[in-house]
Amino acid sequence: MEILIALNNVSSHQRLLDAVKVVLSSSNPCVKAFVVTRASGMAAQAGIPEATKLSYRAGKPLIVLPTLRDAVELLKPSKVLIHFESEDSVVFSEALITSENRVMFVAEGSDGGYLRSDLGLGELVRFPGFRNQLPPSASIALFLLGISGRPRAQ
């Protein structure tokens, strides 16, 4: 199993760096790459260079693409999970990804929310016990914690 963590629509360099640090701190060898889509503003100007440096030092790829659709088309995950707190979202559990080869987990990097077209690219998931959209570093950490029981890649 391969896990790709994506941060979509981020303009804050601090949010980007917080998210990449969470991903890089994961000891799960299934986590293969950090993907950034729709980076703008200070995230694009200052955050991407710093995140690239951190990723390079950790030996994990950082992939920067213009849109979430591009990420799905190029990286071809077998399942895309989009963190979106709503009644229509299913509660995340490890059972959602047990038979998948490559899973992409998407966290939203801005308070503005996803584009409608982005929401149609995968399955909407939420975390139990939370009513509002979480900051991206928190949702990524919850996802990584939720898959911590998965068998480790060899």
pLDDT in tens, 118-132: 888 999 999 988 888
The H or E element containing residue 37 is strand 31-37
Q: Give the residue extent of every domain in the chain.
A: 2-146
Whole-model pTM? 0.92
Quick one: tokens of 43? Answer: 């995230």
- pLDDT the model gives residue 135: 93
The H or E element containing residue 142 is helix 136-146
Q: What percent of the chain has pLDDT over 70?
A: 96
Query: Which CATH code fits 2-146?
Result: 3.40.1280.10
Name the residue with higher pLDDT: 115 or 59. Answer: 59
Contact 71, 37 (CB under 8 A): yes
Which residue type sits at 26?
S
Residue with tokens 């896990």: 3
User: Is 60 exceeded by the pLDDT of residue 152?
Assistant: no
> Exposed e or buried b for every residue in 38-54, given b needs 16+ CB within 10 A?
bbeebbbeebbeebeeb
